[in-house]
Amino acid sequence: MSEMLGQANHPRSRNSSANGPASSPARSSKIRMPPWGLTVISMILYFAVWFTLTEQGTGLLSRLQYPSPLYVIQTLIDMGPRLGIHVLATMARLLAGLAIGTCLGLAAGLAMMRYPLLYGLLNPQIETMRPVPPIAMIPFFILWFCLAEPGKVFLITLGSFMIIVVATIESVRNVPPIYLRAARTLGASEQQVFTTIVMPAIVPALVAPIRVAAAAAFGLTVAAEFLGAQEGLGYLIINARRSLNTGLILLSITIMGILSTLLDNLIRRAARFATEWSEREQ
């Protein structure tokens, strides 16, 4: 009898009896929506509002002010395979300029931080040109390259380079000094410290600048295609503006948004693969 009373008065016994079946993990777990579910809901709401405000809905916005989704889809059908040619032209310019600008920015930033003399020579020029929008250089690009393709790629390259070179310099500066001191204490040379400690350590910090450079490259590509291009999404936009074809303008903008999202996801996946060793939120 005393043992039964002791068990009944024990705190754990009271807690378990008070909570009962409701404390089981199956009942206390919350239903959570996956991230892709929220994305689907967000897109459905966006298209619902878009449809409601335009001519097929309430008509608050005319076709000239903002075309409806059905009109954009009809424009897509009317363009047909020709649209693919313009998309390929835009992506070819963008990827070429982004790749060249990123590689040159990484190389220049690493070299400047490795050799102080080179940093002293190049840093004033970079800091002077960095605040200047690359689009402001378009008149000189026309004089140097006329309307040829290298001028368009060079404009994208310049914008990507300025973002990456500054990010690389700051990433090297932010490497924890304890890593460098530990490597030097173990007898590593300065070249070994730079190649085996500094370069791997800055990879996670460069993911965001590369994503920013990729996003900026789309705007620079459109600006570059205003320079007498005969194909590309920017070419479609400037021609559609002259004829007030807002459906084609919005279609081109939508395609650029989709391409930008796909490229950003590709960069993030590549970064996740390259930084598996790093303690960062995936």
pLDDT tens for 197-222 read: 888 888 888 999 999 999 999 999 99
| Phi/psi at 277 (5° precision) | -75, -15
Confidence of residue 276 (pLDDT cuts 50, 70, 90): confident
Q: What pLDDT does residue 44 have? A: 87
Given this model, what pLDDT does residue 30 score?
Answer: 60
What is the rounded average pLDDT of the residues 250-258? Answer: 93
pLDDT tier, 160 (very low <50, low <70, confident <90, very high otherwise): very high
* pLDDT for position 257: 92
Residue 212 to residues 89, 149, 201: CA-CA distances in angstroms? Answer: 21, 24, 20
Confidence of residue 157 (pLDDT cuts 50, 70, 90): very high
Q: Is the residue at 253 inside a domain?
A: yes
> Is residue 51 included in any domain, yes or no?
no
Query: Considering the domain boundaries, does residue 102 fall inside one?
Result: yes
User: Domain range for residue 101?
Assistant: 75-272
Which pLDDT belongs to residue 195?
A: 84
Task: Give a yes or no: residue 70 inside a domain.
Answer: no
Closest C-alpha to 141, from 226, 18, 264 = 226
What does pTM read for this prediction? 0.79
Q: Give residue 28's pLDDT.
A: 45
Measured distance CA(81)–CA(246) in Å, rounded: 20
Tokens 């993990």, located at residue:
25
Confidence of residue 281 (pLDDT cuts 50, 70, 90): low
Task: Give a yes or no: residue 13 inside a domain.
Answer: no
Please state the domain count of the chain: 1
| Comparison of pLDDT for 80 and 104, the residue scoring more | 104
pLDDT score at 3: 47
CATH number of the domain that residue 211 is part of: 1.10.3720.10
Identify whether 226 is part of a domain: yes
Q: What's the rounded mean pLDDT across residues 46-55? A: 83
Task: Determine, yes or no, domain membership for 282.
Answer: no
The mean pLDDT of 161-173, rounded to a whole number, is: 93
In a domain, 111, yes or no: yes
For residue 89, pLDDT over 90 is answered with: yes
